[in-house]
C-alpha cells in the first residue's frame, strides 16, 4: 500500500511538473490577449464573413469554400459554428473560436520541445507565441487561417514522436497525412511542406543512428522505407486540396508567383513588413482611424534592435545545429526544421503576387510561429538561464509592439472596454429597425461587420458588387425600395462627400434627394430606389 501511495505521489508530481509550465503559458497568453478578447465586438469584416457563414451552416446551408473565396475552405466556419453551438452566435464566440486554436497550437509546440529540454525551458521556448507582434494578431483573433495552422502543428507533433513509437513508419505516414490535409483548410500552410520533407527524412533516421557497422544495409533500407511512408502519407493528405484546386469556382491567383514583383516585394519587406514582424517598427492607432509609427525612445530602440538580433542569431544557430556534434539528433533536426521555414517563407514572399502592402506582413507569420523549434538548439547550448537573458530583449520588444497594436482597445498600459459594447452600432440597429429598413450598403469593411453584429437585421452589402462575399445578400438588397447607406469614419475607406455627390448627380440607382442622419459616430443616408419609367 505504501509503495502504491508513493507511486501515486510521484506520478502527481511528474504530471504537475509538466502541466504547471504550460498552464502558466496559457494564462499568460490570456492575460496578454484580454484587450481584443474583451472588445470582440470590434472585429472586422473578413472575420465576420466566417461568423456569418457559421450561422448559415447551423441552418443547414453548406459550402466547401469560404464565402467569396476560391482557395480558402469553410473549415474555420465549421470551427466557429461549433463555438456558436456552445456559446451562441456572438463576436466573443467568433474570436474564441480562433483564439482557442492558437492556444492549441502553443500546446502542441510546447509538447514538441518539452521532450528535449524539459517543462520550464519549454515554456520559455514558446514564449514568442505568447508575446506576439502585430502581424500575428490577424490569425490569433480573427479567422480564417488559424485552423490550418493549428492542424499543421498537430501534424508536426505526431511526426516528431514517430521514433519513440513501435511503428515509426506508420506515425510518419499519419503525421505527414495530417500536414497535407491541413493545406486543404488554407493553402498558406503549404509553406511548411518543403521543411517538413527534410524533417521527415531526419526523423526516419533517428532511431537507427546507433546501428552496428555490419548492418548498414538494413539501416539504409529502414530509413528509406520510413521516409517513403512519410512522403506517401503527405501526398495522400494533399489529395483533397488537389480536388479543391480542380473544382469549379476555385481561384488559382493565390498560388501565382512572378519574378517581376521581386523589386516591389523586397522593398516592402525591408521597409515595412519585416520590421513589423521583428517588432523594430511599431504601428499603433492612438485615435481611430489614424495608424502611425510609434516613435520609441532611444533606449527602447536599442532593446528592439537587440531583440531582433537575438532572435535572428538564435534561428541561425538552429539552422547550423548539425555543426554541434554534442547536440542529440532529435534537437538538431528540430532546429534545422524551424530555421528552414525562414528562407522558404522569405522566398515565397518575394515572388508572391498576393503581397500588396504593410499588412502583407501576415504572410511572414510562419517565421515566428516556428521560432520555438529553431531556438531549441540555442537553449541546449547556452542553458536555460543564459538563453532567457539573451531572449528577453525580443520578448520585451514584441510584447510592447503587440500591446500597442491593440489600438484603441488600450490606452497606454490600461485596457479600454468601449469597443466591446458597440454602443453606436446598437443605436444604429435600433434606428434602422424602427424605420422598417432591413437592408443597407456601405464600404466593405463596414458591411459584413455590421451585418454580423446585427445578426443580419439589417443586412448590409458592399457598395461595390465585385466585393460581395455572399450573392444572396445582394439579390435581396436589390428588391428593397428603401435602404440605408452607412458611413463609419473609423472603417470606411471611401469619402462620404463623394458618395453624396454621386447620389445627388443621378449616377446611382437611387433618388437624388435623400435623408441624412447622425447616429453616434455613424452618418446614415436613407435612400429610395428610383422607379423605372
Q: How far apart are CA 245 and CA 104, in angstroms?
A: 28
CA torsion sign for 78, 84, 89, 93 is negative
Is it the case that residue 5 has pLDDT exceeding 70?
no
Percentage of the chain lying above the pLDDT 70 cut: 94
pLDDT recorded at residue 254: 84
Instruction: Report the DSSP beta bridge partners of residue 279.
Output: none
How is residue 190 annotated by DSSP?
G
Instruction: Return the C-alpha cell found at 97.
Output: 473560436
Is it the case that residue 28 has pLDDT exceeding 90?
yes
Over residues 268-282, the pLDDT tens digits come to 999 999 999 999 999
pLDDT recorded at residue 113: 97
pLDDT recorded at residue 11: 42
Asked if residues 406 and 353 have their Cβ atoms less than 8 Å apart, the reply is: no
Over residues 212-235, the pLDDT tens digits come to 444 555 578 888 999 999 999 999
Is it the case that residue 323 has pLDDT exceeding 60?
yes
Asked if residues 316 and 342 have their Cβ atoms less than 8 Å apart, the reply is: no
Is it the case that residue 10 has pLDDT exceeding 50?
no
Q: How far apart are CA 53 and CA 512, in angstroms?
A: 35
pLDDT recorded at residue 286: 76
Q: For residues 315, 319, 325 and 330, what is the CA-based torsion angle, rounded to 10 degrees?
A: 80
Distance between the two ends of the chain, CA-based, in angstroms?
Answer: 95
Range 492-504 average pLDDT: 94
What is the pLDDT of the chain when averaged over all its residues?
92
Asked if residues 511 and 528 have their Cβ atoms less than 8 Å apart, the reply is: yes
Range 357-373 average pLDDT: 96
pLDDT recorded at residue 83: 97
pLDDT recorded at residue 371: 98
pLDDT recorded at residue 95: 97
pLDDT recorded at residue 333: 95
Is it the case that residue 408 has pLDDT exceeding 90?
no
Is it the case that residue 209 has pLDDT exceeding 60?
no
Q: How far apart are CA 406 and CA 35, in angstroms?
A: 7
Asked if residues 95 and 37 have their Cβ atoms less than 8 Å apart, the reply is: yes
pLDDT recorded at residue 87: 95
How is residue 512 annotated by DSSP?
S
H helices of 186-297, in order, are 193-205, 216-237, 239-246, 262-268, 274-277
Residue 526 CB-density burial (10 A; 0-12 exposed, 13-18 middle, 19+ buried): middle
H helices of 130-185, in order, are 134-140, 146-160, 168-185
H helices of 371-422, in order, are 371-382, 384-404, 418-421
pLDDT recorded at residue 532: 60
Is it the case that residue 205 has pLDDT exceeding 90?
no
Cell 492549441 sits on residue: 104
Instruction: Report the DSSP beta bridge partners of residue 487.
Output: 523
Q: Is the peptide bond before 201 cis (omega within 30 degrees of 0)?
A: no
Closest CA to 445 of 7, 61, 49: 49
Over residues 31-73, the pLDDT tens digits come to 999 999 999 999 999 999 999 999 999 999 999 999 999 889 9
Percentage of the chain lying above the pLDDT 90 cut: 83
Is it the case that residue 525 has pLDDT exceeding 60?
yes
How is residue 94 annotated by DSSP?
H
pLDDT recorded at residue 19: 84
In this structure, the strands spanning 439-442 and 459-462 are parallel
pLDDT recorded at residue 218: 59
pLDDT recorded at residue 253: 82
Q: How far is CA 278 from the centre of its chain?
A: 16
Is it the case that residue 522 has pLDDT exceeding 80?
yes
307 vs 282, 389, 394, 449, CA distance in Å? 14, 11, 3, 36
Amino acid at each position: 500500500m505504501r509503495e502504491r501511495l508513493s507511486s501515486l505521489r510521484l506520478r502527481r508530481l511528474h504530471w504537475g511538473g509538466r502541466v504547471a509550465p504550460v498552464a502558466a503559458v496559457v494564462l499568460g497568453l490570456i492575460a496578454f490577449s484580454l484587450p481584443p478578447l474583451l472588445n470582440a465586438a470590434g472585429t472586422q469584416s473578413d472575420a465576420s464573413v466566417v461568423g456569418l457563414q457559421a450561422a448559415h451552416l447551423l441552418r443547414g446551408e453548406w459550402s466547401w469554400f469560404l464565402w467569396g473565396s476560391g482557395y480558402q475552405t469553410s473549415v474555420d466556419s465549421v470551427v466557429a459554428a461549433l463555438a456558436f453551438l456552445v456559446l451562441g452566435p456572438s463576436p466573443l464566440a467568433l474570436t474564441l473560436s480562433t483564439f482557442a486554436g492558437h492556444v492549441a497550437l502553443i500546446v502542441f509546440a510546447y509538447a514538441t520541445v518539452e521532450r528535449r529540454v524539459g517543462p520550464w525551458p519549454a515554456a520559455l521556448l514558446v514564449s514568442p507565441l505568447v508575446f506576439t507582434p502585430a502581424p500575428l494578431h490577424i490569425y490569433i483573433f480573427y479567422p480564417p487561417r488559424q485552423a490550418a495552422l493549428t492542424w499543421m502543428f498537430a501534424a508536426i507533433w505526431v511526426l516528431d514522436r514517430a521514433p519513440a513509437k513501435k511503428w515509426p513508419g506508420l506515425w510518419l505516414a499519419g503525421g505527414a497525412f495530417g500536414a497535407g490535409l491541413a493545406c486543404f483548410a488554407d493553402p498558406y500552410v503549404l509553406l511548411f511542406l518543403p521543411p517538413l520533407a527534410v524533417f521527415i527524412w531526419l526523423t526516419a533516421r533517428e532511431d537507427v543512428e546507433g546501428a552496428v557497422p555490419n548492418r548498414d544495409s538494413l539501416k539504409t533500407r529502414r530509413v528509406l522505407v520510413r521516409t517513403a511512408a512519410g512522403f506517401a502519407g503527405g501526398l495522400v493528405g494533399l489529395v483533397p486540396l488537389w480536388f479543391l484546386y480542380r473544382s469549379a469556382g476555385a481561384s488559382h491567383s493565390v498560388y501565382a508567383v512572378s519574378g517581376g514583383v521581386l523589386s516591389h516585394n523586397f522593398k516592402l519587406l525591408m521597409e515595412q513588413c519585416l520590421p513589423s514582424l521583428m517588432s523594430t517598427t511599431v504601428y499603433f492607432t492612438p485615435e481611430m482611424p489614424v495608424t502611425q509609427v510609434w516613435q520609441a525612445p532611444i533606449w527602447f530602440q536599442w532593446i528592439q534592435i537587440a531583440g531582433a538580433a537575438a532572435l535572428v542569431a538564435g534561428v541561425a544557430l538552429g539552422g547550423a545545429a548539425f555543426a554541434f556534434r554534442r547536440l542529440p539528433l532529435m534537437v538538431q533536426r528540430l532546429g534545422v526544421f524551424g530555421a528552414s521555414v525562414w528562407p522558404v517563407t522569405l522566398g515565397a514572399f518575394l515572388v508572391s503576387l498576393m503581397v500588396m502592402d504593410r499588412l502583407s506582413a501576415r504572410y511572414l507569420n510562419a517565421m515566428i510561429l516556428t521560432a520555438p523549434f529553431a531556438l531549441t538548439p540555442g537553449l541546449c547550448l547556452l542553458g536555460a538561464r543564459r538563453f532567457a537573458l539573451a531572449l528577453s530583449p525580443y520578448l520585451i520588444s514584441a510584447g510592447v509592439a503587440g500591446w500597442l497594436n491593440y489600438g484603441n482597445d488600450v490606452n497606454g498600459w490600461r485596457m479600454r472596454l468601449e469597443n466591446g459594447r458597440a454602443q453606436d452600432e446598437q443605436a444604429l440597429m435600433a434606428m434602422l429597425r424602427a424605420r422598417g429598413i432591413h437592408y443597407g450598403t456601405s464600404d466593405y469593411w463596414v458591411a459584413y461587420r455590421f451585418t454580423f453584429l446585427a445578426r443580419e437585421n439589417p443586412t448590409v452589402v458592399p457598395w461595390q458588387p465585385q466585393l460581395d462575399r455572399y450573392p444572396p445578400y445582394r439579390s435581396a438588397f436589390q428588391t428593397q425600395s428603401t435602404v440605408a447607406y452607412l458611413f463609419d469614419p473609423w472603417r470606411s475607406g471611401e469619402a462620404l462627400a463623394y458618395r453624396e455627390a454621386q447620389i445627388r448627380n443621378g449616377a446611382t440607382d437611387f433618388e437624388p434627394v435623400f435623408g441624412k442622419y447622425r447616429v453616434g459616430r455613424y452618418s446614415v443616408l436613407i435612400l429610395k430606389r428610383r422607379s423605372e419609367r
